[in-house]
Amino acid sequence: MLTRFVLPRLGWAVVTIMLATMLVFGAMQALPGDAATQILGQNATPEAVFTLRRQLGLDQAPLERFITWLGHALTGNFGTSLVSGQPVGPEVGRALLNTSFLAGITIVVGFTLALVLGLVAGLFRDRWPDSLISTVALVGMSIPEFIVATLLVLMFSITIPIFPAVVVAGQNATIAELAPSMPLPALSLMFVASAYIIRMMRTSVIDVMETDYVHTARLKGISMARLVVKHVVPSAILPTLNVVAMNVAWLIGGVVVVESIFNYPGMGSLMIQSVQSRDLPTILLITVIGAMTFVICNLLADLAATLLNPRLRYPRNSK
Amino acid sequence: MTSPTIVVESTQVGRGFWTDLSRVIRSILRSKPATLGFALVTLHVLLAVFAPLLAPGNPTSNNPAAVLQFPGGAYPLGTDTLGRDILSRTLYGGQYALTVSFASTALAVLLGTIIAGLAAFYGGWLDQVITRLLDSVLAVPAILAMLVLVTVFGSGPEVIVLAVVVVYTGGVTRVVRAAAMDIMPKDYIVAARARGEGVFYILSREVFPNILDVVLVEFAMRASWVVLLVSSLSFLGFGANPPTPDWGLMVAENRSLMAVVPLATLAPIVFLATLIVGLNLAADGLAKSLGVDRMKEILG
């Protein structure tokens, strides 16, 4: 299992992350002007730009710079921010911690709730709880995070002012300082990210309820609670885990929008800032983290699929 | 009707394109949500096309004398901070959203389908290279890729289309390739290969017609995501350029004044939400009537 399934995938994961970083690096090379002109502004003398460019290593060929970057990156040195002059690692690390906190709440609370809602909808198929939950899921699938966030602010910051509309704690705020302004960003993310999970859980609960072993269990007179806990949830949750894993990767996009709306000092805000200021080292580290999230989620999704269908473990014999 | 080959031919003729189409349309009309979805999308297309006739004013002309007006009189939904008519801007907003999203989705699906067809047809190392390369593109967070592309090439509509194509072609390819791989071992394709038919003939006459259902559902589903992504990009200030009337941009412009002129924010929200709900319902209906598992397509 380990050597045949996990190791080759891990190898490809590393290649994928490297290629993804290279693509972003390449795209950034096409930018007119570079960080040196960006930092010094319009009125800088050519000499000053030249000197700074040398200091930043921008005078080398792109491929050479990418290889240098890669070599350093493999030893954990991701360079210094072209804007703040500080090492990129700790800066991105702080943002990552804040984002993980926000995403963590969303995943733990939102995804659990989504699984429960999907289960309820599946068990009450075509009756009112199902209609209600399915409609909520459809709306969640259909409205972008910025609309959910805007409406939540209208409801809970303007109409009934109970939650702050923006995070006022600064860039270096601790988690404890951020916590009070958490509810609205987390709710916005939860609503959108849960939609597909609710849907998938509902579908797979319905599928499981139709199987022979569930019919048999019901005919034997098993209690509903026992049926759900023992038979329905374990079988229905596996295909759903796949969607859960994909959703974690999708969360990245939502995080960017939500953080920018609420001024939350995380990866999303940092991403927008660093793209705007063309801060390549920061962008590259964000790309690495983003690609890693995607690859790990994909790997977990594959694992879930394999656990579900043992035939996939040996692809060559499956035909 | 003596040889088995002719029997195969005749069954293929029997399920002709028009018969299939009318069957699909009938099955969509039987489902209330699907009908609602197609109706909503059609309504939005009509509103966008006829916006110049329907809108009471010019969507981009400022009026310093009528800033932040309440609904009424010449401004049925009021005005924004620059005195622009909200109703007109909202009606015109569909033009940008629909053209950019439709063009980019169509291009991404077309390109993805062709790449997927080639990968499935040739298999071997070409397939491996395509799959790995697209996996790497997919690994770059979509929003980051779009931000970078817009920063590099500017935020004109053609750049947004290009960026969406870059971000979504990989996903389309993954799904369509899987569908194409499924039918590659089928007898009619093996037979066509044995007859010595070329790649163009086999893909266009044998493969694509038989995976058209998957491609169509993919299109409908991607369209709803693209509208969502494009509007989010506009909202972040990386999409439609002011003063283009665009829903995402309007929400961004008027959000801070929600307590004063709520309709300036709510009108574009309602339009955008109904469009995407419509697209989602339509995609669901299409998937159901074509017998494609939508959740499976999402997972690729």
Express each pLDDT in A145-183 by its tens digit. Answer: 888 988 888 888 887 777 877 776 666 667 777 777 788
What mean pLDDT do residues B47-60 have? 80
Reported pTM: 0.85
Partners of residue A301 in chain B, C-beta under 8 Å: 299
Q: What are the tens digits of pLDDT across the range B149-200?
A: 888 888 888 889 999 998 899 889 988 998 898 888 888 888 888 888 888 8
| Average confidence score pLDDT of chain B | 83
Contact B280 A196 (CB under 8 A): no
Q: What is the pLDDT of residue B145?
A: 87
Q: What is the pLDDT of residue B259?
A: 77
Task: Select from B147, B148, B255 the residue whose CB has the most chain A CBs within 10 Å, as the one to mutate to test that interface.
Answer: B148
Minimal-distance CA residue of chain A relative to B276: A142
The residue ranges of every structural domain in chain A are 32-75, 103-277
Strand pairing partners for A87? A80
- Residue B42 pLDDT > 80: yes
Q: What is the pLDDT of residue B184?
A: 87
Inter-chain Cβ pairs, chain A and chain B, closer than 8 A: 145
Choose the weakest-confidence range: A6-15, A53-62, B83-92. Answer: A53-62
Higher pLDDT pick, A55 / A215 = A215
Contact A283 B269 (CB under 8 A): no
Partners of residue A242 in chain B, C-beta under 8 Å: 299
What mean pLDDT do residues B198-226 have? 88
Residue % of chain A over a pLDDT of 90: 8
pLDDT category at A116 given cuts 50, 70, 90 is very high
What mean pLDDT do residues B80-85 have? 74
Contact B232 A253 (CB under 8 A): yes
pLDDT category at A299 given cuts 50, 70, 90 is confident
Contact B236 A287 (CB under 8 A): no
- Residue A18 pLDDT > 50: yes
Q: What is the pLDDT of residue A32?
A: 63
Check CB contact of A131 with chain B, cutoff 8 Å: no
Task: Select from B130, B137, B140, B230 the residue whose CB has the most chain A CBs within 10 Å, as the one to mutate to test that interface.
Answer: B140
Contact A257 B143 (CB under 8 A): yes
Check CB contact of A291 with chain B, cutoff 8 Å: yes
- Residue B123 pLDDT > 50: yes
Minimal-distance CA residue of chain B relative to A149: B255
Check CB contact of A112 with chain B, cutoff 8 Å: no
Nearest to A20 among B140, B255, B259 (CB): B140
Contact B281 A138 (CB under 8 A): yes
Nearest to B273 among A19, A147, A158 (CB): A147
CATH class of A103-277: mainly alpha
- Residue A266 pLDDT > 80: yes
Contact B152 A28 (CB under 8 A): yes
Partners of residue A256 in chain B, C-beta under 8 Å: 141, 143-144, 236
Cβ-count burial of B258 within 10 angstroms (0-12 exposed, 13-18 middle, 19+ buried)?
buried
Q: What is the pLDDT of residue A313?
A: 56
Contact A23 B137 (CB under 8 A): yes
Higher pLDDT pick, B115 / A236 = B115
pLDDT category at B6 given cuts 50, 70, 90 is very low
Partners of residue A12 in chain B, C-beta under 8 Å: 132, 135
pLDDT category at B100 given cuts 50, 70, 90 is very high
What mean pLDDT do residues A107-118 have? 91
DSSP codes joined into one string, chain B = --SHHHHHHHHHHHS-HHHHHHHHHHHHHHSHHHHHHHHHHHHHHHHHHTHHHH-SS-SS---GGGTTPPSBTTBTT-B-TT--BHHHHHHHHHHHHHHHHHHHHHHHHHHHHHHHHHHHHH-HHHHHHHHHHHHHHHHS-HHHHHHHHHHHH-S-HHHHHHHHHHHHHHHHHHHHHHHHHHHTTSHHHHHHHHTT--HHHIIIIIIHHHTHHHHHHHHHHHHHHHHHHHHHHHHHTSSSPTTS--HHHHHHHHGGGTTT-HHHHHHHHHHHHHHHHHHHHHHHHHHHHHT--HHHHHH-
pLDDT category at B107 given cuts 50, 70, 90 is very high
Contact A142 B276 (CB under 8 A): yes
- Residue A206 pLDDT > 60: yes
Task: Select from B135, B169, B184, B275 the residue whose CB has the most chain A CBs within 10 Å, as the one to mutate to test that interface.
Answer: B135
Partners of residue B139 in chain A, C-beta under 8 Å: 16-17, 19-20, 290-291, 294-295
Q: What is the pLDDT of residue B297?
A: 63
| Average confidence score pLDDT of chain A | 82
Q: Is A124 helix (H, G, I), strand (E, B) or coil?
A: coil
Q: What is the pLDDT of residue B110?
A: 95
Q: What are the tens digits of pLDDT across the range B257-295?
A: 877 778 888 888 999 999 999 999 998 888 888 877 766
